[in-house]
Amino acid sequence: DAGVTQSPTHLIKTRGQHVTLRCSPISGHKSVSWYQQVLGQGPQFIFQYYEKEERGRGNFPDRFSARQFPNYSSELNVNALLLGDSALYLCASSLGTGGFQTQYFGPGTRLLVL
Amino acid sequence: QKEVEQDPGPLSVPEGAIVSLNCTYSNSAFQYFMWYRQYSRKGPELLMYTYSSGNKEDGRFTAQVDKSSKYISLFIRDSQPSDSATYLCAMSDGRGSTLGRLYFGRGTQLTVWP
């Protein structure tokens, strides 16, 4: 079975630009979460979506936004990029129902902002 | 004070050693405890998942949770060079609006040398 997939794998942008990252969850999973992992740190929660609705939001500025599509795939958008946005962006999927669900991570998109 | 504290290491052990990895936390509402393994430049891979206090064993891996001390551990027996990775603890309160949010430690970098 295919796991969580993310695209692109790597991305280089300059300050002020906009970026869109994409994620496809495990088949049958309806919830997608996004995390930011800065080098040497653990992942930090950005968003969670379930059935196209935002279920949770972490402590990130409004420059970060996301959405989920009818096929449960998701996009993370970041506007007005800053140098500090350079990180590994991880997508995780879970079943999304029945209380707490374990999350399975994709390989991530490595973003470098110059 | 961060909600989850984890010694970043690095930790270097010979093949066959018993490895002990630990995290402490401050939020008494955490009920779900996970260990993820992350190889260099990859996404985190779920190793163990424990609910509430107690022990859980899976092959060479044992997870322990002591909620009274707000302390969790992962033990690796007969460590192998292939265990060389960063180990991340993660936890959740599994409630309401924070249902899908995982709180991570910064990870412990482990090297097992032959």
Alpha-carbon distance of A40 to A70, in angstroms, equals 35
B45 touches chain A (CB under 8 A): yes
Q: Using the structure block, give the residue that is written with the tokens 């994620």.
A: A23
pLDDT(B95) > 80:
no
Are A19 and A78 in contact, with CB atoms under 8 Å apart? Answer: yes
Residue A12: which region, alpha, beta or left (left: phi > 0; alpha: psi -120 to 50)? beta
Encode pLDDT of B43-85 as tens digits. Answer: 999 999 898 888 999 999 999 999 999 999 999 999 999 999 9
| Dist. CA B95–CA B100, nearest whole Å | 8
pLDDT at B9: 82
Q: Indicate the pLDDT class of residue A15, thresholds 50, 70 and 90.
A: very high
Binary contact (B99, A99; C-beta < 8 A): yes
pLDDT bucket at A97, cuts 50 / 70 / 90: low
Of residues A4, A94, A107, nearest to B100 (C-beta):
A94
- Confidence band of A11 (pLDDT split at 50, 70, 90): very high
Torsion of CA A27, A32, A36, A42, to 10 degrees: -80
* pLDDT > 90? residue A56: no
User: What pLDDT does A98 receive?
Assistant: 63
